[in-house]
Structure 1
Amino acid sequence: MYLNCHSYYSLRFGTFSETDLLDLAQANGLDAIALTDINNTSACLNFVRHAKKRKIKAVIGIDFRVGAQQNYVGLAKNNAGFKQLNQYLSQHSEQKLKLPDVAPAFDDAFIIYPFEKILQLNKTTFLENEFVGVSIDDLRKLRFSKIKQQKSKIVLLQPVTVRDKKDFNAHRLLRAIDNNTLLSKLEKTEECNPSDKMLPLDQLNTALAEFPFILENTKWLLNQCNIHFGFGDERESQNQKLYTDSFENDCLLLEKLCDQGLPKRYANPTPKVYARLKTELDTIKSMQFVSFFLINHDIVSYAKSKGYFHVGRGSGANSIVAYIIGITDVDPIELDLYFERFINPFRASPPDFDIDFSWKDRDDVTDYIFRRFKHTALLATYNTFKYRAVVRELGKVFGLPKEEIDKLSKNNYDVTSLDEISKLVLKYGKLIEGFPNHLSVHSAGILILDKPVHFYSATDLPPKGFSTVQFDMIIAEDVGVFKFDILGQRGLAKIKEALEIITENRPELPPIDITNVEAFKKDPKINNLLKSGGAIGAYYVESPAMRGLMKQLQTQDYLGLVAASSIIRPGVSGSGMKEEFIKRHRHPEKRKEAHPILYNIMPETYGVMVYQEDVLKVANQFADLTLGEADVLRRGMSGKFRSRKEFEAVEEKFIANCRNKGYADNLIFEVWNQIKSFAGYAFAKGHSASYAVESYQSLYLKCYFPLEFMTAVLNNGGGFYSAEHYFHEARQQGATICLPCINKSDHPNRLIGTSIYLGFGYLKNLEAYTIKRVLTERQLHGHFKSLDDFIDRVLISIEQLTIFIRIDAFRFTNKPKVELLWEAIFKLNAKGKETIQSKLFKTEHKQFTLPKLNNNWIENAYDEMELLGFPLCNYFDLVNQPMEDGYLASQMNQFIGKNMLIYGNLVTTRYNKTSQGKLMRLSTFVDQKGAYFDAVHFTDVVNQFPINGLGVYACYGKITDRFGFYSMSVIWSKKLTIIKDPRNI
């Protein structure tokens, strides 16, 4: 009976989920109901899915509105009608067109005009698919309207937006947030009616007793609507099924690509290679995944044709087919990768291929995908209301002062002292928390479908200009839509730019084959960077935690790095398995402590679960679960399924099987708890291996071309550390760091010989147009000869010119900065007005005689801190306190279990939580010699001795030794004062 129901995907309007709506329908005895969210179809597929489980007939459509004002409601007669409605909404959404007052004549969709709209339009004739909708409140007006003569066209259009008074209050608050207004100033036209709720059937019958034909028409309309999507056992892949014109030709093409690629990957293929390849090809064909491999190969081939680097990872990196045809660069034979991790007869979804490109190349690859494949869209994700954010929004809506809002959002209050308004803010903050706030674009997901995108959803057009569906990856997989993951990362851009800088800076060298990873893996100099913690700048392995782990493991080969990439993940680390793995790795005699069955299943990791496929192996070989049941555990770990009952059933069988095999309960639950600890965090081994390949490419460049590599790192946004620290690292590698220079610098950093000239892009408040003018003029007419020459050739204001002078960009003139500043003020309009156009003739500049003006290095350092954010001098040089009795990081091994004092320049710091949930801080410093050391502020000192920004700290604490990696447990720390700017004294 209800044709106009909203979920909270009627963004900042609806007040409950699509499943709550179905629960409400069940409670009111309904066997059919329509979901019509406002200008949105996000919930439609999930609504259909859950309605089937509840044996309720699902009807879906769209409530077309301009702002809060309803134009009409569209209901899909069938899947074709849903597509038509989606196309119509998408056209207006993507082109930013206002919805017209009258809907087009849809072939497969009904249009229901609200009663008030009919009166407004004075509409008296109706197409076959058009109806008039009246709410319960409209009935009293209907009695006196000519419209009641249109008996066959009148249906019940009772909106369902709220369930009770609390929902209505939440609705008004959402509307106030949406309109950015105080609740007291919210217009009534922006709200629904308090009566927009679901009434039991008997109340409906009573209300419509005078108009029985309305109920009959409404039932008829619901009966005409039949929508179907395959879910559960009926699910079929909706992805593009064919790459060529037939499945047979797809299979032939994949085989041909394997034949062509095999000699490139395996010069002398072994029987094991052939057997694995045949098994994979047979499985890929039987499970109809051929086109999935061919499409990924197509995308990668395009990237290669454009000279773009890529990394293929995800579970698909376990595949020898993917390796041979070039989607990935991980050899599954070398790494003994578990075939069943990425594909098995029980897995309905295709393997995951996460394909990384440079952040600079990704948009072009995405554009190619949209051009190459007919039915393509980006996947959405939902940005939900976070509690602190919604409390702030509600505080504004209620008109609370900022101080009160800050207290509430930070939980900095005493409940007993709160007034009624503040209590309401907290109450409704809890209610609205988790509601979808707005749609966003999934970080990587692209859909390549067999049918038009609008068969499944309406689309929006975000700023980058690629159509985006309105549902997320969970809904997509439920209905058989499997995403292609196309990601952008900076690591590949660093590698590519480093090679370009090498070619420019050292043209005498032969071209570098960065794909020669096999040689890099065996290079002792490169491997020494791993075990010594010298990987700063290298993708994925440069963080303090990762460098510390590699020191503990003494990682010095590819397989060790693959393991380290997964051990660092919270699942392995949090379960205690990281410590156990390190212990068994460093002390072979400890491997005897492993359970013999587990050691036999996972000899490479000494009986410790490290990778996702280890869970599959243990579940299958230790607990005798089928591969399908083991895959349930894998999906549960990655958070990609919804049924806790399914997971719990497998848990029960795991425990029962192990007991039947005679294992002791303590062993059973130890293994099971390890499996559970992986939830959401474990890596597939092939995934870790893919990261390791890229890391080795970065490490090769860091080892043999450190200055070129560090310049590329800086030019691509750095990584884990600040730009200042990467300059420190470059200096440690032999670079001279130079301030921006008018004649030598570019927008990014530029390497000339062994000197890195800072880019103009670092200069705060320097406008992009200014940089463009300077670089264009220099490129067209050569270097600037003097300040006068610069002023003659570049249109610039005194404020912008001052930035260049203060950063010493005119030092080639050999004049002090202060003198140049005075000259600039005299020679330019001091009021900051720019000359409208360049001078036709060069004018003679008046020369001024100025007194001798100098500046010192301290003033320069403060100018650099203001303009760049950091000084080029060493922070230790700025300290104006005595640094006595301090030691160096290299001496930590002499103080194990003892206390020592080290003076350190802060590199990075972050909060973490202990296993008990208490706050702690992890910090990394460099000492006076530039060597790193790590310090931990545990709970008892974390607030007592805070870290207050960059600078030099005296760190006093106890030295701990964890497998040869030394760190300090801080007892006290203190930030040292620095010399003041003499100009401000």
Structure 2
Amino acid sequence: MYLNCHTYYSLRYGTFSEVDLLELAKENGVRILALTDINNTSACLNFIRKSIAFNIKPVIGIDFRNGAKQLYVGLAKNNQGFQELNTFLSHHSHNKTPLPDLAPILKNTYFIYPLERVMELEKKVFHDNEFIGISIEELKKIPFSSYKSYTDKLVIQQQVTIRSKRDFNAHRLLRAIDNNTLLSKLQKTEECSEHDKMIPFEDLKHKFSDYPFVISNTIKLLNSCRIDFKFGEHRISQNQTLYLNSEKEDYQLLVKLCEDHLHKRYSQPDKKVRTRLETELKTIRQMNFVSYFLINYDIISYSKQMGYIHVGRGSGANSIVAYIIGITDVDPIELDLYFERFINPFRASPPDFDIDFSWKDREDITQYIFNRFKNVALLATYNTFKYKGVVRELGKVFGLPKEEIDKLSKGNYDVKTLDEIALLVLKYGELIKGFPNHLSVHSCGILILEKPIHYYSATDLPPKGFPTVQFDMIIAEDVGVFKFDILGQRGLAKIKEAIEIIKYNRPELPPIDITQVENFKKDPNINNLLKQGKAIGAYYVESPAMRGLMRKLQTQDYLGLVAASSIIRPGVSSSGMKNEFIIRQRHPEKRKEANPILLEIMPETYGIMVYQEDVLKVANKFAGLDLGEADVLRRGMSGKFRSRAEFTAVEEKFINNCKAKGYPDELTFEVWNQIKSFAGYAFAKGHSASYAVESYQSLYLKCYFPLEFMVAVLNNGGGFYSAEHYIHEAKMCGGVIEAPCINKSDHPNIIRGKVIYLGFGYLKSLEILTVKRILTERQFNGAFLSLDDFIDRVVISIEQLTILIRIDAFRFTKQSKTELLWQAIFKLNASKAKTTQSKLFKPNHKQFKLPSLTTTWVENAYDQMELLGFPLCNYFELINDELIENIKAIDMKKYINQTVVLYGVLVNTRFHKGSNEKLMRFCTFTDREGDYFDTVHFSKVVDKYPINGLGVYACCGRIVEEFDFCSLDIIWTKKLSLLQDPRSLN
């Protein structure tokens, strides 16, 4: 009987979830219910899915509105009707046009016009699928309305938006936030009615008892609607089912691709390779995943054709078919990748192919997919109200001063001292927290479907210009819509650009084939970089934690790097098995201490669970769970569960099976706790192996072309560290760093021989238009000869020219910066008169006689800090304090367990909450020689000796050693003062 119900996916309007709506309906004895969110279909599929548990028949539709003004409610008679409604809404959403006053004629839908709207339009003629909706409050108008004679068109339209006074208050606050207005100034037309609630079904019928035809019309309308989507174990894949014209043709093509490419991967394929290939092909065909593989192959083929670099990872990296046809570059035979992690008979969803491209190439790949395939859209994600953010918004709605809002959002208050308004802000902030705020685009998910996209959802058109559905990944998988993950990352862009820079800077060298990863894996020079942790700039292995782990493990081969990539994840680390793995890696005699059953299952990782596959193996071989039950554990670890019920059932079976096998409880719960610690963190082994391939490609470039590689790193936004630190690394590799130069620099960084000229892009105050003018003029008319020549040729303000002079971009003139600044002021006219046009004739510049003016290196350093964000000299050169007795990072091993002082430039700092919930700090520094050392700041010194920004610190502490890796447990720190800018003394 309720055909106009809202959830909080009626964004900044509704006040509860689709599940809350179903619970409300059940409480009120409602057995059939329509969900009609405002211009949104986000909740529809999950509403249908969850309605089964409540024994409620679902009807879905859309409440069409321009702003808050309701025009009509559309209900889908069937799945085709839902598609029609979605198409209609999406057309107006994409084109940003208002919805029309009158509903379109759609074959498989119903439209209900509110009585008030019908009276406003003076609508007299209604199509077969059009009705007039009456709320309880509007019943009193019927006797006096000309529409009382429309007995076959009148239906109940009791809108449901709120449940209580609290919901109504929250609704008004959401409307005020949406309108960016004070609550006291919110227009009534922007709100729902206080009566927009659900009442018991029998009470509703009683309210309309004088108009039985209205009740019967409503029941008839709702009964004629039927929507059908299959969920859970009954779902079927909605992805594009064919790549060519038939399943037979698709399979023949996949087999041919494998035959054509087999010898490129295996020069002499043995029986193991061929058996694995045949088994996979058979399984892929049986499970109808052939088109999924071919579509991914198509995308990769286009990428290669365009000269793009890619990395294929995810569970699909366990597949020999994917390896042979080039989707991935991980050999599952070499790594003994567990086939059942890739595909098993219990798996309803296709394997994950997370395909990474350069962030610069990803948009073109996405455009290709939209052009190449028919039913394509991006996946959505929900941006929800965060507590701090919503408290700020509510503070503004209530008109609180900024200071009060800051205090409330940061939690800097004593509840006892708060007034009534502040308490309301906190109360409703807690209620609204977690509500959807707006729809956004999933970071990488693309849908390629068999049916039109609008069969499942309306779509929006975000700024990138690609249609985006209104549901998220979990909803998608529930209904059998499986995404293709097309990601953009900077690591591949660094590799691609480094190769281009090498070609330009060292043209005498032969072209680099970055795909020769097998050779890179065997290169002792590259492996030595891993062992020493010298991986700054290399994708995924450059963080202090990863470099430290590689030194502890003495990682010096590909398999070791694959393991390290997974061991560092929180799951292994938090279970305590990271240290145990290091011990067993470094001391082979310790491996025999492993449980013999686990050692037999996982010999490569010494009986320790490291990868997702290990959990599957242990669940299957140790606890006797079948592969379907083991896959439940795998999905539980990936965070894709909606509830823990299924996971809990498998947990009970795991424990009971172990008891039946006679394992001691201590062993059973130790293994189970390791499995649980993986939740949300574990990597598939193939995933780690894919990362390791890219790491080796980066390390090859870092090893043999360090300067070109570091320039590429800088030009692609760096990575874990700041630009300043990558510049430091370039210096350590023998590079000479030059500040931006009018004649040598570009917008990005460029390298000439061993000299790296920083790009104009680092000058944050320099306008992009100014840079374009400089580069265009230089390109067409050659280098600038002097300051006068520059002023004649480039239209520029004195403020912009001052930036260039202060960064010493005119140093080729051999004049001091101070002298150049005076010349610029005189010649550009201090009155700030500007022209937007270049001069037709060069003027004769008056030459001013100036006294001898000099600029000191300290002044240069301060100008660089202001304009670039960092000095180009070493911070140690700027120290203004006396140094006490200290040691160098390279000598730390000589002073284990001794208290020493090291001086270092801060590189990186991060906080960590320990098991005791107390805050710790970890820092990385470089000493005067440029060598790294790491510090640990326990809770007793974190606040007492803070680390405040970049600079040189005196670090006093005790040197501790773990697995030959030294760090400093801090006792005290002190930031050193720097030489003053001489200009500040005048």
Q: Which bin holds the TM-score, normalised by the shorter protein?
A: over 0.9
**1:635 matched residue in structure 2:** 635
Q: CA offset at residue 205 of structure 1?
A: 2.0
Q: CA offset at residue 833 of structure 1?
A: 3.4
Tell me if 1:552 matches 2:552. Answer: yes
**2:863 matched residue in structure 1:** 863
Provide the rounded CA distance (Å) in 1 between the counterparts of 2:200 and 2:694: 62
**2:361 matched residue in structure 1:** 361
For the Cα contact (< 8 Å) 1:323–1:330, is it kept in 2?
yes
**1:888 matched residue in structure 2:** 888
Could you say what the CA RMSD is over the residues aligned between the two structures, in angstroms?
0.8
**1:481 matched residue in structure 2:** 481
Q: What SS does the aligned partner of 1:138 have?
A: helix
1:799-840 Cα offsets, whole Å, 9 max, x none, are 111111110000000000111111111111323333232222
**1:914 matched residue in structure 2:** 914
Provide the rounded CA distance (Å) in 1 between the counterparts of 2:18 and 2:183: 26
**1:732 matched residue in structure 2:** 732
Which amino acid in 2 is paired with 1:101? D
**1:790 matched residue in structure 2:** 790
Q: Which runs of 5+ in 1 are unaligned?
A: none
Q: CA offset at residue 100 of structure 1?
A: 1.0
**1:436 matched residue in structure 2:** 436
**2:646 matched residue in structure 1:** 646
Provide the rounded CA distance (Å) in 2 between the counterparts of 1:126 and 1:898: 90
**2:349 matched residue in structure 1:** 349
For the Cα contact (< 8 Å) 1:955–1:970, is it kept in 2?
yes
Q: CA offset at residue 320 of structure 1?
A: 0.2
Q: CA offset at residue 152 of structure 1?
A: 0.6
Provide the rounded CA distance (Å) in 2 between the counterparts of 1:421 and 1:880: 52
**2:493 matched residue in structure 1:** 493
**1:310 matched residue in structure 2:** 310
**2:170 matched residue in structure 1:** 170
Provide the rounded CA distance (Å) in 1 between the counterparts of 2:834 and 2:803: 15
**2:21 matched residue in structure 1:** 21
1:239-292 Cα offsets, whole Å, 9 max, x none, are 000000000000000000000110000001111000100110000000000000
Which amino acid in 1 is paired with 2:55? K
For the Cα contact (< 8 Å) 1:135–1:159, is it kept in 2?
yes
**2:125 matched residue in structure 1:** 125
For the Cα contact (< 8 Å) 1:910–1:923, is it kept in 2?
yes
Q: TM-score, normalised to structure 1's length? A: 0.99
Tell me if 1:977 matches 2:973. Answer: no
**1:541 matched residue in structure 2:** 541
**1:104 matched residue in structure 2:** 104
How do 1:81-100 residues align onto structure 2 when only pairs under 5 Å count?
81-100=81-100
Provide the rounded CA distance (Å) in 2 between the counterparts of 1:173 and 1:429: 10
1:362-381 Cα offsets, whole Å, 9 max, x none, are 00000000000000000000
Q: What SS does the aligned partner of 2:133 have?
A: strand
Provide the rounded CA distance (Å) in 1 between the counterparts of 2:111 and 2:122: 16
Q: CA offset at residue 142 of structure 1?
A: 1.7
Q: CA offset at residue 148 of structure 1?
A: 0.9
Q: What SS does the aligned partner of 1:3 have?
A: strand
Provide the rounded CA distance (Å) in 2 between the counterparts of 1:407 and 1:598: 54
Q: What SS does the aligned partner of 2:462 have?
A: coil
**2:161 matched residue in structure 1:** 161
Provide the rounded CA distance (Å) in 1 between the counterparts of 2:838 and 2:417: 67
For the Cα contact (< 8 Å) 1:914–1:920, is it kept in 2?
yes
**2:530 matched residue in structure 1:** 530
Query: Identical aligned pairs, as a percentage?
Result: 72
**2:715 matched residue in structure 1:** 715
**1:947 matched residue in structure 2:** 947
Which amino acid in 2 is paired with 1:544? P
Tell me if 1:827 matches 2:830. Answer: no
1:396-450 Cα offsets, whole Å, 9 max, x none, are 1112222222222222221222222111111111111111010000000000000
Tell me if 1:813 matches 2:852. Answer: no
Q: What SS does the aligned partner of 2:4 have?
A: coil
Higher mean C-alpha deviation, range 910-919 or range 289-298:
910-919
1:349-400 Cα offsets, whole Å, 9 max, x none, are 0000000000000000000000000000000000011111111111111122
**1:34 matched residue in structure 2:** 34
**2:278 matched residue in structure 1:** 278
Provide the rounded CA distance (Å) in 1 between the counterparts of 2:829 and 2:326: 61
Higher mean C-alpha deviation, range 731-740 or range 953-962:
953-962
Provide the rounded CA distance (Å) in 2 between the counterparts of 1:258 and 1:830: 72
Q: CA offset at residue 693 of structure 1?
A: 0.2
1:135-189 Cα offsets, whole Å, 9 max, x none, are 1111111221101111110111111000011111111111111111111111111
Provide the rounded CA distance (Å) in 2 between the counterparts of 1:548 and 1:3: 61
Higher mean C-alpha deviation, range 615-624 or range 793-802:
793-802
Which amino acid in 2 is paired with 1:877? E
Which amino acid in 2 is paired with 1:329? D
How do 1:456-471 residues align onto structure 2 when only pairs under 5 Å count?
456-471=456-471
Provide the rounded CA distance (Å) in 2 between the counterparts of 1:354 and 1:832: 55
Tell me if 1:699 matches 2:709. Answer: no
**2:253 matched residue in structure 1:** 253
Q: What SS does the aligned partner of 1:488 have?
A: strand
Provide the rounded CA distance (Å) in 1 between the counterparts of 2:239 and 2:941: 55
Provide the rounded CA distance (Å) in 2 between the counterparts of 1:131 and 1:2: 14
**2:567 matched residue in structure 1:** 567
Q: What SS does the aligned partner of 1:152 have?
A: coil
1:880-936 Cα offsets, whole Å, 9 max, x none, are 001111111112112212211101100011111112222111111001110001111
**1:209 matched residue in structure 2:** 209
**2:762 matched residue in structure 1:** 762
Which amino acid in 2 is paired with 1:534? K
Q: Which runs of 5+ in 2 are unaligned?
A: none
Which amino acid in 2 is paired with 1:572? V
1:513-556 Cα offsets, whole Å, 9 max, x none, are 11101111011110111111110000000000000000000000
Q: What SS does the aligned partner of 2:968 have?
A: strand
**1:414 matched residue in structure 2:** 414
Higher mean C-alpha deviation, range 740-749 or range 820-829:
820-829
**1:512 matched residue in structure 2:** 512
Q: CA offset at residue 53 of structure 1?
A: 2.4
Provide the rounded CA distance (Å) in 2 between the counterparts of 1:98 and 1:772: 40
Tell me if 1:333 matches 2:326. Answer: no
Provide the rounded CA distance (Å) in 1 between the counterparts of 2:153 and 2:718: 65
Provide the rounded CA distance (Å) in 1 between the counterparts of 2:902 and 2:143: 88
**1:425 matched residue in structure 2:** 425
1:480-512 Cα offsets, whole Å, 9 max, x none, are 000000000000000000000000000000011
Which amino acid in 2 is paired with 1:192? C
**1:236 matched residue in structure 2:** 236
Provide the rounded CA distance (Å) in 2 between the counterparts of 1:967 and 1:392: 42
Which amino acid in 1 is paired with 2:729? E
1:455-491 Cα offsets, whole Å, 9 max, x none, are 0000000110000000000000000000000000000
Which amino acid in 2 is paired with 1:422? A
Q: What SS does the aligned partner of 2:73 have?
A: strand
Tell me if 1:962 matches 2:957. Answer: no
**1:193 matched residue in structure 2:** 193
Which amino acid in 2 is paired with 1:204? L
Which amino acid in 1 is paired with 2:31? D
Q: CA offset at residue 344 of structure 1?
A: 0.3
* Pairs aligned (count): 985
1:615-665 Cα offsets, whole Å, 9 max, x none, are 000000000100000000000000112231111110011001111100000
For the Cα contact (< 8 Å) 1:865–1:871, is it kept in 2?
yes
1:782-807 Cα offsets, whole Å, 9 max, x none, are 10111111111111111111111110
Q: CA offset at residue 233 of structure 1?
A: 3.0
Which amino acid in 2 is paired with 1:440? S
Which amino acid in 2 is paired with 1:374? K
Runs (4 or more) in structure 1 with deviation over 6 Å come to none
Tell me if 1:52 matches 2:39. Answer: no
Q: What SS does the aligned partner of 1:143 have?
A: helix
**1:937 matched residue in structure 2:** 937
**1:671 matched residue in structure 2:** 671
Provide the rounded CA distance (Å) in 1 between the counterparts of 2:116 and 2:872: 70
Q: What SS does the aligned partner of 2:50 have?
A: helix
Higher mean C-alpha deviation, range 934-943 or range 609-618:
934-943
Provide the rounded CA distance (Å) in 2 between the counterparts of 1:322 and 1:651: 33
